[in-house]
Amino acid sequence: MSGAAGLSVDVHLSATDLHRALEEDVRVGLTSRPKSIPPVWFYDEEGSRLFEVITTLDEYYPTRAERRLLELHSPAIAALAGADTLVELGAGACAKTRTLLDAMGEDGPLRRYLPFDVSDDFLRSAAAEVLEDYEGLEVHAVIGDFHRHLDRIPVVGIRLVAFLGGTIGNLTPDQRQRFFFDLNCSMLAGDHLLIGTDLVKDTRRIIAAYDDGAGVTAEFNRNMLRVLNEQLDADFVPELFEHLAVWNDAEQWIEMRLRSTAEQSIHINALDLEVHFEAGEEMLTEISAKFTPEQVADELIKADFVVDGQWGADEGDFLLTLAHPYC
């Protein structure tokens, strides 16, 4: 454990671990058919900046819709959860849950905040800002991967575990069920889970959110290639790949892809790997599943959660669901 005065930090994922994970994901993903790279590798400094811009675009409704729901319903959520500890999975800039922190501390027993993410430096900086802004709040950051380290999150107080931003939609159904099951096993009686999910709606609106007119999402998508160039000494030419956003109706998710505009071979020197792309060949970089309220409840129930409440179904854009483990 380490940290500045007043800030505790547990590190379960080092920079070396992350680099090895990148190498494995790229080796497996680019030698598979079809090719794919997980979306976690979007987020270097430039990728994070571009995503922040995306959240301000007119077409990108999810961030605004979720923020509005949190502003309207955080007091009710905090009252139902009765928690004194907020755990935020995929905390990033720790911005989304300030509304929850405020609601939990208004009339309740808020004592501590536990942000959890893979990015060490970024999370430390964001957690330090929260510590400065909330007098008397204990802040304990955890650097880890939610696929591997959920059981490392400190079990202290009565916890509200928040997984917001629709990030759960980046997982396939099998991955979601494993995640919910693992999370349930790490929770105690009295703990609650708050999950944010994007809802099924007019597919034209969904596609526009992932293919904005200004081309910011296209640059965000192509930036992954720059990450591979920098981290793995690859020689992708991002301009030779075009951004696609495609609705998969059978799976009820949007797919972001990169399509090679020419036949080309890419050298990934750090892996001693050469990858060939045919002209028109596509590489999957992200899925983002959309849900119905009934589907969210069903997936939670199958993982032995009890649903306490849902907010946002009537508006139809985004959904917040509060649940607790069945004990």
pLDDT tens figures, 257-284 = 999 999 999 999 999 999 999 999 999 9
Instruction: List pLDDT tens digits, range 112-138.
Output: 999 998 877 778 888 889 999 998 999
Per-residue confidence band for 206, with pLDDT thresholds at 50, 70 and 90: very high
Per-residue confidence band for 177, with pLDDT thresholds at 50, 70 and 90: very high
CA-based torsion, 32, 35, 39, 43: positive or negative: positive
Cα–Cα distance measured from residue 283 to residue 275, given in angstroms and rounded to the nearest whole number = 12
Q: Which residues contact 2 (CB under 8 A, 6 or more apart)?
A: 8, 9, 11
User: Helix 216-232 and helix 15-30: axis angle, to 10°?
Assistant: 110
Q: So what's the pLDDT on residue 94?
A: 65
Q: What is the CATH number of domain 59-201+291-325?
A: 3.40.50.150
- The conformation of residue 59, written as its DSSP 8-state character, comes to T
Instruction: List pLDDT tens digits, range 307-325.
Output: 999 999 999 999 999 999 9
| Per-residue CA distances from 90 to 17, 162, 164, 170 (Å) | 18, 9, 8, 12
For 177-317, list the strands marked E by DSSP.
192-198, 241-248, 253-260, 264-268, 273-277, 282-289, 305-311
> Taking the domains of the chain in order of start, what are their residue ranges?
59-201+291-325, 215-289
Q: So what's the pLDDT on residue 1?
A: 47
State the pairing for strand pair 85-89/159-163: parallel
Whether residue 79 has pLDDT greater than 90: yes
Given a contact cutoff of 8 angstroms between Cβ atoms, the answer to whether 234 and 267 are in contact is: yes
Whether residue 299 has pLDDT greater than 90: yes
Mean pLDDT of the chain: 93
Whether residue 14 has pLDDT greater than 60: yes
